[in-house]
Amino acid sequence: PSGCSTCFCHWVGGGPTSPEGSDVLMTEVEGGYVLQAMTDKGAALLEGSSLADGADRFADAEAARKAAWASLEKAPSLAEAPAKVAARFEDVEFWQQETDRCLSCGACTYFCPTCYCFNITDEGDGLNGREGRRLRSWDNCMSPLFTREASGHNPRTAKALRMRNRVSHKFATYPENWGAFSCNGCGRCVSNCPVHLDIRAIVLDAINK
């Protein structure tokens, strides 16, 4: 077993075998998977299943987890990331250079498990006496239309400014407010980007340049 080359979960405090937030930890071993309860809820789930007892494969699961960790390159320190990324906010030239090949397709946001930008729409016809409804739907902050106001004004027409907001939110604003990165390092944005834009490189450039 090995970690994915686009995954950087260990950069942001996670890991390929981290049990944090899991009721059951599933580890791939030869011939199948080993499921181990991490919480009482997980134990109750496994006890109520028809799965065979896998206690005799726990050693294999532990070896697989160690191998996954060993396959990862050493993670750089992101301790300075919040301050350094925030300091780059007004450096438009930096963001233009970093996002020059971005297509604004939105793949990075649609595949991101921690992105939650949304749009509000009203449906229904109030003229015929029927009640309408207000809907919140998932939206893409990398779209040129995302920040367009009702007046027609758009404060972020440039893709560099949209990417600046996305990266700054995950690595500066969110940790400033909540004490953690708004990124779990899964690497889906990296692996699904058609032009191979790498958020890791952007953050490291913000720290080191």
pTM of the predicted model, to two decimals? Answer: 0.82
The answer to whether residues 141 and 165 touch, using CB atoms and an 8 Å cutoff, is yes
φ/ψ of 35, rounded to 5, equals -110, 125
Percent of residues, the chain, with pLDDT higher than 70: 96
- pLDDT over 80 at 185, yes or no: yes
Mean pLDDT for the stretch of residues 122-151:
81
Q: What is the DSSP letter of 173?
A: I
Three-state SS at 101: coil
pLDDT exceeds 90 at position 16: no
- Coil/strand/helix, residue 62: helix
Contact 205, 20 (CB under 8 A): no
Gap between the Cα atoms of 123 and 131, Å rounded: 9
Map out the domains of the chain as residue ranges.
17-70, 81-115+141-208
CA distance 207 to 203: 6
pLDDT at site 113: 93
